[in-house]
Structure 1
Amino acid sequence: MSAFFVPVSASTQAATTDRLFLLLLVLSGVILLLVFSLVAVFAVRYRRGSSAPRGAMPAILSREFEIGWTAATLFVFLFLFWWASSAQVAALIPPAGALEIHVVAKQWMWKTQHPEGPREINELHVPADTPVRLLMTSEDVIHSFFVPAFRIKKDVLPGRYTETWFQATKPGVYHLLCAEYCGTDHARMEGRVVVMPAQDYARWLGARPEADGLAREGARLFVSRGCAGCHAPGSRVRAPRLAGLFGSTVPLSDGRRAVVDEAYIRDSILQPERDIAAGYDPIMPSFRGVLGDGEIVALTAYIRSLAAPEGRPAAEAAAPPGLAPGPPEGRSPAMEPGRALEGTPPAGGSP
């Protein structure tokens, strides 16, 4: 019963949300008590047959009362607006260096992938006291990622990325729900978020057999899906080079400028004709229907990794041995969407 009246609070955002909710609850209670008290007093004092004076209120008193009431209401409104909006804006911007986890929603499950590579279905393991950034997309319809104990809820949309973040404060297991009606089994689209001490999370991560890294998976896809045929150093096809590209601002052929982020890379893969880089021909084919959301996530991680550590060539930073993209022998057959390089097994889809 106590959990019903006082829900579990397990994140930094939850504490801020609860304080704001408590203030609104107390303020609403005070106003409600004042209104009902005045109704009761006036109903008794000015009942039919009472001797209470019923003359008009002096004009100056009436004017001062109206001005004071209006000013007090405006002040309270501005204060609440500032507090709520500042909390909401802060919740939109994850701290620098936050742990990034990719979430793909699908009727009717949650698929998550850690930067080191491990995938989960309807589960998400995270370390306590660590900011976690969720980069989310949907494979079909609109979903909504909702963790009541963290007080976070964010729509997950098909065809684009949305993001939110949280910092869990208490180890434990917390309910994950879809808060947007998404079809027949909407009520079954649930999971759990497992918050672990940092050392336990590190052990859990290291014990996962598939912990090979998103960027390394993306490096393999970069070759097997034919991206290396155009974008690798030494390619005979004139295409933008990817080393150091992520996070930069690039000019487009129509005079606009765009920031190369996750959304830009996704659009460039699925809708290459939409934002054409200045000075390049629109020759890239669309990979819509060819690459799954999980593969796009891995390719994005690889492109982001091309800002290499010192002393290593950018194009080899995340590539596993033998798969670092190099000059192609003529025009690569893998430049055709869906066709793998000879001798390379087709890349698997998302989990």
Structure 2
Amino acid sequence: MGSFSLFPEQASTFAPEVDHLTYFLLIVAVFFTVVIFGAIFYFAVRYRRRSERELPHVIHGAMALEIVWSVIPFGLTMVMFTWGASIFYRESRPPGDALSIYVVGKQWMWKLQHMEGQREINELHIPLGRAVKLTMTSEDVIHSFFVPAFRTKQDVVPGRYSTTWFKPTKAGKYHLFCAEYCGTNHSRMIGWIYVMEPQDYQAWLSGGVSTGTLAENGQKLFEDLACGNCHKPDGSGRCPSLAGLFGNTVHLTGGGTVKADEAYIRESILQPQAKIVAGYGPIMPTFQGLVTEEGVLQLVEYVKSLGPKPAVAPAANTPPGNR
């Protein structure tokens, strides 16, 4: 007969922190429940009406008591807020060296893509002791990526990217669920996460079937869609150059600016008229419905892989001072 456990197994760096906060909240709730109900019972018995002619004593105020029952709850709630906010802040800031994996939710499956090109459905293989960053979106309705052993739950929303990260601390096989009702087969949208020793993960990665990295597949799609006819590397095309775009600030028509992150690149592919780059016209057509979410992810990775703009070679007889 298996042993009973109040919480799932702890298998990530955040799991103990989340559990400790939960234990604290539980202890505080139970303590004050007992105190309050005990006080209610005591006062109901101690100060019950003993005679019809008895007149109760009127209490006009107790400043010290009011301060106590105001300050103590305030202090406890601030501890809860600070503790919870600290965990939330660190969970929303993946480290720079995290292993990046893309996730697409779809009724009723999880599709996952590694940077090296390997694809998985309802399974995810990751190395032990390495931070893993998931960039996620949905093809249809709202889903929620939930791994109880990692204490990780992140909504996956259509039309935008959401991210989460975790660092596994124990090798094994862990449940993956969708924690947001997403239709008739919601309960079947389950999978497994396999945490492997680093050498086993590398063996799995090198042994899997791959048709190229995400960036390489993105380049092929970029060429198939003839995007290079307008987006020339040296900026001489009808549309802005994509070289060195990712991570930089883009100046927009009308005077605004935007950071070129994954969300901006995605929006520019599917809704190119939303933000027009300064100095260029609104001539790019939308690829909404023409490119799948997986294709968009591949294009995003290709744009991220592009280096800076190629330098323009000076004319042969140009004096050095005029270069």
Confirm or deny a common fold (TM above 0.5): yes
Matching residue's letter, 1:15: P
Q: Is the 8 A contact 2:234 2:241 kept in 1?
A: no
Matching residue's letter, 1:189: M
1:132 and 2:132 are equivalent in the alignment: yes
Q: Residue 95 of structure 1 aligns to a residue in which SS? A: coil
CA–CA distance in structure 1, aligned partners of residues 232 and 4 of structure 2:
56
Q: TM-score, normalised by structure 1?
A: 0.82
Paired residues for 1:1-351 under 5 Å: 2-47=3-48, 49=50, 55=57, 62-210=62-210, 212-233=212-233, 237-307=237-307
Q: Residue 120 of structure 2 aligns to a residue in which SS? A: strand
Q: Is the 8 A contact 1:244 1:314 kept in 2?
A: no
**Structure-2 change in CA distance of 1:234 and 1:278 (3 Å):** closer
CA–CA distance in structure 1, aligned partners of residues 296 and 142 of structure 2:
19
Q: Is the 8 A contact 2:178 2:186 kept in 1?
A: yes
Partner of 2:317: none
Q: Residue 230 of structure 2 aligns to a residue in which SS? A: helix
CA–CA distance in structure 2, aligned partners of residues 69 and 163 of structure 1:
40
The Cα shift of 1:186 comes to 0.8
Q: Is the 8 A contact 2:232 2:240 kept in 1?
A: no
**Structure-2 change in CA distance of 1:244 and 1:43 (3 Å):** same
RMSD value, Cα:
2.2
CA–CA distance in structure 2, aligned partners of residues 211 and 125 of structure 1:
18
Q: TM-score, normalised by structure 2?
A: 0.89
* Count of residue pairs brought into register by the alignment: 307
Matching residue's letter, 1:290: L
CA–CA distance in structure 2, aligned partners of residues 256 and 282 of structure 1:
16
Q: Is the 8 A contact 2:161 2:263 kept in 1?
A: yes
The Cα shift of 1:314 comes to 7.2
**Structure-2 change in CA distance of 1:67 and 1:162 (3 Å):** same
CA–CA distance in structure 1, aligned partners of residues 246 and 180 of structure 2:
32
Q: Is the 8 A contact 2:147 2:176 kept in 1?
A: yes
Partner of 2:320: none
Further displaced range: 3-12 or 293-302? 3-12
Q: Which runs of 4 or more aligned residues in structure 1 lie more than 6 Å from their structure 2 counterparts after TM superposition?
A: none
Structure 1, unmatched stretches of 5+, are: 316-351
The Cα shift of 1:37 comes to 2.5
CA–CA distance in structure 1, aligned partners of residues 235 and 75 of structure 2:
64
Matching residue's letter, 2:106: K
Q: Is the 8 A contact 1:205 1:211 kept in 2?
A: no
The Cα shift of 1:286 comes to 1.0
The Cα shift of 1:108 comes to 0.6
The Cα shift of 1:234 comes to 5.7
Identical-pair percentage: 49
The Cα shift of 1:3 comes to 4.7
CA–CA distance in structure 1, aligned partners of residues 60 and 250 of structure 2:
69
Q: Is the 8 A contact 1:116 1:211 kept in 2?
A: no
Q: Is the 8 A contact 1:306 1:314 kept in 2?
A: no
What do residues 169-202 of structure 1 show as CA deviations (whole Å, max 9, x unaligned)?
1111111111111111111111111111112111
